């Protein structure tokens, strides 16, 4: 990438007319039979899916745990290098949900941006700004910060009412949104994660953060309503969203047409999202 994360993302929204983020979460047990016995199956499958869906993607999002659990970190490095070489201009978000302090945070930033070459990384704000400073200070890279996640237990902490400067309090996720948009986004390289399973919360977060990009997981296999996402969370110009789908695209077919089926699923999601703008 030669353009910083958010400008590249905005260019992709404009030029490719898509809000789809293609998640790359390899699970070899779900691969088509043709990959059986292939020692490089993880890289080859993800490459094929990415190549097939690139025309419909505003971003790619490989999930680091899916590679690391398989001992496939080398495949992840090669995959991101391939994405940049074959599909320049499409940002790559490393889904790692990092968050730590001191030198450990700096090592995590180096891992994401220098080792893997990601254009952005997901991060956890629970430890506060200093834990994310090594990511935030990389002005050319994106920091996609957890705000209101899509899992059923999200509300255990994220919905807790916290002090709101004498205004009666508000949920923690709204304070996170406010703090990121107002104080942490000095380089204009922040985005927030807000799950598709919470359309009302999406609307509230959009009202707080203005044009800040939102990464929205939970569409497809997790049951989020794609049209409700766009209605509630699009920015003023009808963009502002990276609507992430992984399993519904990756495993659209277990046959030899896996790549074509993935492309059709990504195209269908793009069309559904665009129709709701």
More confident residue, 1 or 212: 212
Asked if residue 2 has pLDDT above 50, the reply is: no
Indicate the Cα dihedral angle 193, 269, 23, 262, nearest 10°.
180
Tell me, yes or no, if 97 is annotated catalytic: yes
Q: Is the pLDDT at 166 greater than 80, yes or no?
A: no
Stretch among 71-75, 112-116, 150-154, 204-208 having the lowest mean pLDDT:
150-154
Give me the domains of the chain, ranges plus CATH numbers.
5-275 (3.20.20.70)
Q: Please pick, among 78, 82, 87, 97, the residue that the annotation labels catalytic.
A: 97
- Identify the three-state secondary structure at position 224: strand
Task: Return mean pLDDT, the chain.
Answer: 95
pLDDT at 222: 59
Q: What is the pLDDT of residue 167?
A: 75
- DSSP lists the bridge partners of residue 61 as 23
Phi, psi torsion values for 222, nearest 5 degrees:
-90, -5
71 vs 109: CA distance, rounded Å: 20
**b/e per residue 33-47 (b: at least 16 CB within 10 A):** eebeeeeebbbbbbb
In degrees to the nearest 10, what's the CA dihedral of 3, 5, 10, 12?
Answer: 70
3-state secondary structure of 11: helix
Mean pLDDT of 45-55: 98
User: Residues 56-105: pLDDT tens digits?
Assistant: 999 999 999 999 999 999 999 999 999 999 999 999 999 999 999 999 99
């Amino acid at each position: 990438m030669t353009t910083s994360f958010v400008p590249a993302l905005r260019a992709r929204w404009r030029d490719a007319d898509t809000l789809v983020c293609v998640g790359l979460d390899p699970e070899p047990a779900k691969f088509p039979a043709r990959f059986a016995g292939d020692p490089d199956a993880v890289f080859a499958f993800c490459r094929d899916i990415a190549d097939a869906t690139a025309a419909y993607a505003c971003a790619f999002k490989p999930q680091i745990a899916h590679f690391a659990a398989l001992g496939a970190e080398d495949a992840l490095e090669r995959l991101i290098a391939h994405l940049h070489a074959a599909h320049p201009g499409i940002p790559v978000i490393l889904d790692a949900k990092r968050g730590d302090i001191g030198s450990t945070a700096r090592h995590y930033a180096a891992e994401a941006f220098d080792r893997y070459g990601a254009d952005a990384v997901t991060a956890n704000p629970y430890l506060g700004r200093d834990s994310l400073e090594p990511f935030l200070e990389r002005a050319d890279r994106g920091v996609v910060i957890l705000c209101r996640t899509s899992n059923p237990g999200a509300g255990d902490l994220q919905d807790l009412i916290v002090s709101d400067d004498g205004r009666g309090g508000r949920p923690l996720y709204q304070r996170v949104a406010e703090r990121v948009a107002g104080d942490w986004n000095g380089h204009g390289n922040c985005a927030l994660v807000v799950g598709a399973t919470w359309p009302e919360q999406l609307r509230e977060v959009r009202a707080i953060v203005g044009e800040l990009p939102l990464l929205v997981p939970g569409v497809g296999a997790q049951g989020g309503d794609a049209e409700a996402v766009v209605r509630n969370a699009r920015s003023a110009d009808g963009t502002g969203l990276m609507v992430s789908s992984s399993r519904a695209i990756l495993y659209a077919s277990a046959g030899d047409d896996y790549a074509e089926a993935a492309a059709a699923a990504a195209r269908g999601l793009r069309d559904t999202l665009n129709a709701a703008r």
